[in-house]
Copies of this chain bind each other. A is one copy, B any other.
């Protein structure tokens, strides 16, 4: 049996299936540096907040900057469709669940107002913050110059699956090398999950790639269309592409694992898998300062007849400061992401993020046991 198969299948892994192996040398966490670079920009922590309207508003982007990270503003969301997005947010939040999906479809059918793109960028820049805005490939060519002219520091081009060679009837394919020549700011593109696509995207001159298609175990994209790659394997592939590209060209493209991360442990595992940074949505939508005030919902969906996201009550878990830096009394890994990262770096003897890339990782499924008494080594 199984002698002749139509194709071979390789095993892929997600965060819940791996664990980091402590190193041969350990260091004190206070000796570690968590710096990340994106093009010529440098950040104290390798953490981005996703371009989701429930997570990142202009003021949340400013707060992320003050905390050392980067909040990406969705330039095709409420903030660029409405002069007053806050009253729309208010409506979304107070809507009964049964009417939420319909209401979202309605409010996102309003057109994007180009002048608001510029205004939102200026709003973020005014506070002295690094400003990153995201577009879908369809709108990037037309709208991203508006954002850059207004002062945007980083442009993110993002769709569920993005390749360097997208074919389309309805609009001339976006050519990333041309875009980069035009904008003259770092461009981050995603999402992708394979060595080949990551390589091709890097060849176009981009400064960062977003890794992640259908990453969550219960991910709707995987349920609905069957497509997806668990994040550890996806990151391992794209990081291999980055290394090969770097060896060949001397240019370092940042790999950002985007989606499916819930805990500090997940962030550490993404980096050991080769990520230079991570991007999270829901954990930031759960911040007290998030515009969604306990709710989150997907980006404007390119396939309205096939929804893969709706409004979800995610709750409020703590301040952004607690989520990133603690202190915290929860022991489930959902707070103090940076503290967790520094402890893991200490256990692996890693002074920098790139040192942490060298740590070993094993396959060790998190089988839940009934008793949860064993909460630390030595228990």
Contacts and interface: CB of A to CB of B under 8 A. Distances in A.
Given A217-B368, A224-B263, A307-B331, A229 B377 contact: no
B305 A326 contact: yes
Contact of A191 (B239, B349, B377): B377
A343 B303 contact: yes
A196 to B, nearest CB: 5
A267 B225 CA distance: 8
A244 B3 CA distance: 13
A279 interface: yes
The 3 closest A-B pairs by CB, nearest first: A216-B374, A226-B265, A226-B268
A275 B299 CA distance: 33
A106 interface: no
A354 interface: no
Nearest to A258: B378
Contact of A217 (B196, B301, B369, B376): B369
Given A50-B378, A309-B379, A362 B263 contact: no
A344 B175 CA distance: 23
A127 B198 CA distance: 52
Interface residues of A, number: 152
Contacts of A307: 328-331
Interface in A136-166: 158, 160-163, 165-166
Contact of A224 (B221, B331, B361): B331
Contacts of A265: 222-227
Nearest to A310: B331
Contacts of A101: 329
B166 A376 contact: no
Contact of A225 (B303, B305, B344): B344
A9 B362 contact: yes
Identical chains bound together, number: 4
Contacts of A205: none
Contacts of A10: 1-2, 362-363
Interface stretch (A17-25, A61-69, A83-91): A17-25
A193 B359 CA distance: 14
Contacts of A233: 2, 5, 362, 364
Nearest to A29: B303
B339 A212 contact: no
A40 to B, nearest CB: 25
A27 B161 CA distance: 10
A75 B379 CA distance: 16
Contacts of A269: 226
Contacts of A250: none
A168 interface: yes
Contacts of A373: 216, 262, 282, 296, 312, 314
Given A258-B378, A306-B326, A1 B163 contact: no
A237 B5 contact: yes
Given A24-B194, A218-B374, A303-B339, 12 more contacts: A2-B362, A5-B233, A5-B236, A7-B360, A19-B230, A22-B163, A23-B163, A218-B372, A219-B377, A260-B374, A296-B373, A309-B331
